[in-house]
Amino acid sequence: MIIILLGPPGAGKGTQAKVLAERLKLPHISTGDMLRQNVQARTSLGLEAKDFMDKGALVPDELLTEMLKMRIAGADTGEGFILDGYPRNKSQAGILDAMLKKMDRELDFVAYLDAGEPVIIQRLSGRLVCRSCGSNFHVTNMPPKRKGICDNCGGELYQRQDDKVETIKKRLEVYLKETSGLIDYYSKQNKLHRISADGASSVVLDQVIQLAKGADDSLKV
């Protein structure tokens, strides 16, 4: 089974993808993680990507696509995978479809986690990140045991610059503009399913699992 999770920043894609991967016993492929792993491992693609990142430029679609192609061909993806962070636009969606077709595989469905702006701002503006291990906390939803200190490693917690309210609003504008064609693309294929992500994460997860069961009635979860 091949599933794509879409949604604006703060909709909970990463959180849902990790739990869903455990429940469905499928690998979670995050393009952000994939990019960092290639850079850290100093692969040829990672070194190319680092050149762009060091200049503050976006990593080209071609590089991300090559990384994704190699990842999808991995031994652990035989039963499928959950994709988070790709595609980001209609062009990438077409590239992914062509890639899967060459592998004689097909996308099962796209779950669009639709969260409202007030909810997104509340989630992201309260987010705290550990400087040492990268763990995430939230000032109200998941506060650390000690203020400003990571529960996991004792590192310092800070707020990212792009989690400030005005920056969040701009990120949302860019996201919606960038993905409008993508939503239309999958809607025309009858593969897009909108799920409200404003509520509890457990409710959202149950709805995605029901979609998975609908796509494969032999699925045991």
Helix/strand/coil (H, E, C) string of 176-198? HHHHHHHHHHHHHCCCEEEEECC
Confirm if 48 and 63 have CB atoms less than 8 A apart: yes
In a domain, 136, yes or no: no
SS3 69: helix
Q: Token digits for 3?
A: 């599933």
Number of domains the chain contains? 1
Q: What is the pLDDT along the chain (221 residues), one digit of tens a residue?
A: 999 999 998 888 888 998 999 999 999 998 888 888 898 899 999 999 888 888 877 788 888 889 999 999 989 999 999 999 889 889 899 999 999 999 999 999 999 999 989 999 998 899 899 999 888 899 988 899 999 999 999 999 999 888 888 888 988 888 888 888 999 999 999 999 999 999 888 999 999 999 998 888 777 76
Question: For residue 151, what are the contacts with CB-CB under 8 A and spacing of at least 6?
Answer: 135, 137, 144, 145
* Domain limits for position 205: 2-26+79-115+169-215
How does pLDDT run across 102-151, given as a tens digit for each residue? 999 999 999 999 998 999 999 889 989 999 988 889 998 889 999 999 99
Confirm if 184 and 177 have CB atoms less than 8 A apart: no
- Comparing CA positions, the residue from 110, 137, 149, 158 lying closest to residue 13 is 110
Q: Which residues belong to the active site? A: 13, 88, 127, 160, 171
In a domain, 220, yes or no: no
Location of structure tokens 């969260």: 115
Domain of 6, CATH number, reads 3.40.50.300
In a domain, 201, yes or no: yes
Phi, psi of 150 (to 5 degrees): -70, 130
In a domain, 128, yes or no: no
In a domain, 86, yes or no: yes
Separation CA 37–CA 187 (nearest Å): 32
In a domain, 31, yes or no: no
Confirm if 151 and 144 have CB atoms less than 8 A apart: yes
In a domain, 56, yes or no: no
In a domain, 133, yes or no: no
Confirm if 72 and 29 have CB atoms less than 8 A apart: yes
